[in-house]
DNA sequence: GACAAAGTGGACCGCTGGTCCATATATTAA
DNA sequence: TTAATATATGGACCAGCGGTCCACTTTGTC
């Protein structure tokens, strides 16, 4: 049933992803157009759309690549990130990790947000990475405090990572401050 | 020094603002282009840019119009919104009011965000309304708990209003849930 | 080596925010 | 009322965007 991706196609997919990465490292995200990515990858614009469907799809794929390791650690790594530790501890550990990730990929996140808003393209809830993160945070909160609105609180906590004045701080190296505040929030909430 | 705005200019300014309002009420925000606003107002596109400088400027003016009443109440209205009540109470009252406002103006906020991201235009910190809100929230937190990172917490709380999965809930009539969570967060934080 | 399936690239489309400036209009002073 | 001046106006125009399309090339299979 499953036909494998052709060799040249796979090569181009990689070239495109690496070119996008490179451009996002050196330019403000709204200047990294699909056309520029294609040019930098030595590929036609049509190819990029063929492979990734849309600008959002391209950005999502990049995010997925980087999120995979963290997801693995959460699912089956050692505590406190992986299973085993008490939920409050796991939650703080996860938020810390997510924060590091958001800091390192601030440009990419901004570009993804930009792409999402520009067209009538989907809610954040259609991004599988966000869904996984939200599910995880949500479950940990519910485990510690079954009486609160865990899903909504998870949105608030995760929203922080995407919010503009805060992502600016992250890029400026202030992530410890943000981590401290998030930990405060979590402790304030989870203490019955 | 101050030359008053010409009568026809003032009339057009109003026409443009009202037309934008109307379009935002009935269309997804990214479809409300400056050109369509101009057409609906019976005015040339150039005029809109002349009056408001940019798409962001137009949206900002609309937000300012609506935020003015709340600002007045906060500055000199009766408690708990205005001065006089204990800070935790004022804070919850303000967040409630801001939430109502964000709910009613969800389309406008989204359009403003969209405009901000599309061009290399400014941080949220350049929006005077955000600055006022942040200053207010920040001061209340600092008053109740001088030992915490009030400015950053204020960003987290206010960020909630702009965050996508949450603003979707607001539009769906779930604002009481959001209000409850915010109140929880505030109480969890401000209780030493 | 032949044939079908998959991949490719760049011209093209509709649309955007923003600029420009010759022209029209309101205001003020005479 | 008129003349002079500052201001406002509108729409053609621009560069750029995300996305589509399809004649053509490349790859994998038997």
Furthest CA-CA distance within chain A: 57
Query: Which residue bears the tokens 């609160």?
Result: A148
pLDDT of res. B1: 44
SS3 at position B149: coil
CA distances from A62 to A10, A107, A111, A112, B43 (A): 15, 12, 11, 10, 44
CA A118/CA B85 separation, integer angstroms: 43
Q: How far does CA A171 lie from the centroid of its chain?
A: 15
Segments of chain B scoring below 70 in pLDDT: 1-3, 120-121, 192
A115: nearest nucleotide, CA–C1' criterion: D18
A109-119 average pLDDT score:
86
Beta carbons of A138 and A158 less than 8 angstroms apart: no
B46: nearest nucleotide, CA–C1' criterion: D10
Residue B169: which of B111, B102, B112, B117 has the closest Cα?
B102
Beta carbons of A107 and A31 less than 8 angstroms apart: no
pLDDT of res. A60: 95
Q: What percent of chain A has pLDDT over 70?
A: 97
Q: What are phi and psi of A83, to 5 degrees?
A: -65, 150
Interface of A with B in 16-35 (CB under 8 A): 28, 30-31
Catalogue all structural domains in chain B, each as residue range(s) with its CATH number.
1-53 (1.10.10), 54-190 (1.10.357.10)
**Chain A contact for B128, CB < 8 A?**
no
**Chain A contact for B131, CB < 8 A?**
no
Roughly how many angstroms between the first and final C-alpha of chain B, as a whole number? 53
SS3 at position B177: helix
**Chain B contact for A192, CB < 8 A?**
no
Beta carbons of B190 and B144 less than 8 angstroms apart: yes
Beta carbons of B166 and B145 less than 8 angstroms apart: no
**Chain A contact for B69, CB < 8 A?**
no
Query: Which residue bears the tokens 């519910």?
Result: A142
Query: Which residue bears the tokens 């406190």?
Result: A80
SS3 at position B85: strand
Beta carbons of B14 and B52 less than 8 angstroms apart: no
CA B134/CA A80 separation, integer angstroms: 34
CA A129/CA A63 separation, integer angstroms: 8
A139-149 average pLDDT score:
95
Structure tokens at B27: 């269309």
| Helix A34-41 × helix A45-52 angle, to 10° | 110
**A157-188 pLDDT tens trace:** 999 998 889 998 998 999 999 999 999 999 88
Structure tokens at B107: 């389309």
The CA-based angle A123-A126-A130, given to 5 degrees, is 100
Runs of H (alpha helix) within B27-105: 34-41, 45-52, 55-76, 87-104
Q: What are phi and psi of A172, to 5 degrees?
A: -85, 5
SS3 at position A37: helix
Whether the predicted pLDDT of A3 surpasses 80 = no
Nearest to B177 among A152, A164, A178 (CB): A152
Query: Which residue bears the tokens 């799809």?
Result: A57
B48 touches strand C (CB under 7 A): no
pLDDT of res. A121: 63
pLDDT of res. A116: 87
Structure tokens at A163: 């919010």
Spanning CA of B118 to C1' of D24, the rounded length in angstroms is: 36
Beta carbons of B70 and B97 less than 8 angstroms apart: yes
CA B14/CA B34 separation, integer angstroms: 15
A106-132 average pLDDT score:
86
Whether the predicted pLDDT of A2 surpasses 60 = no
Query: Which residue bears the tokens 């002349």?
Result: B50
B117 touches strand D (CB under 7 A): no
| Helix B106-118 × helix B164-171 angle, to 10° | 150
Average pLDDT, chain A: 93
Nearest protein residue to the C1' atom of D21, measured from CA: A46
């Amino acid at each position: 049933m499953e036909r494998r991706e052709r060799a040249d196609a796979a090569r181009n997919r990689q070239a495109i992803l690496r070119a996008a990465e490179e451009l996002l490292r050196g330019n403000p995200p709204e200047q990294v157009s699909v056309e520029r990515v294609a040019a930098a990858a030595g590929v036609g614009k049509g190819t990029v759309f063929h492979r990734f469907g849309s600008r959002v799809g391209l950005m999502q794929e990049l995010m997925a690549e980087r999120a995979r390791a963290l997801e693995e650690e959460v699912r089956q790594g050692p505590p406190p990130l992986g299973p085993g530790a008490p939920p409050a501890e796991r939650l703080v550990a996860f938020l810390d990790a997510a924060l590091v990730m958001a800091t390192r990929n601030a440009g990419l996140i901004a570009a993804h947000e930009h792409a999402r808003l520009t067209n009538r393209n989907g809610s954040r809830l259609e991004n599988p990475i966000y869904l996984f993160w939200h599910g995880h945070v949500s479950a940990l909160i519910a485990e510690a405090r079954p009486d609160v609105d865990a899903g909504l609180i998870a949105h608030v906590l995760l929203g922080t990572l995407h919010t503009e004045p805060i992502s600016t701080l992250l890029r400026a190296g202030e992530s410890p401050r943000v981590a401290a505040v998030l930990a405060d929030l979590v402790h304030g909430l989870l203490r019955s």
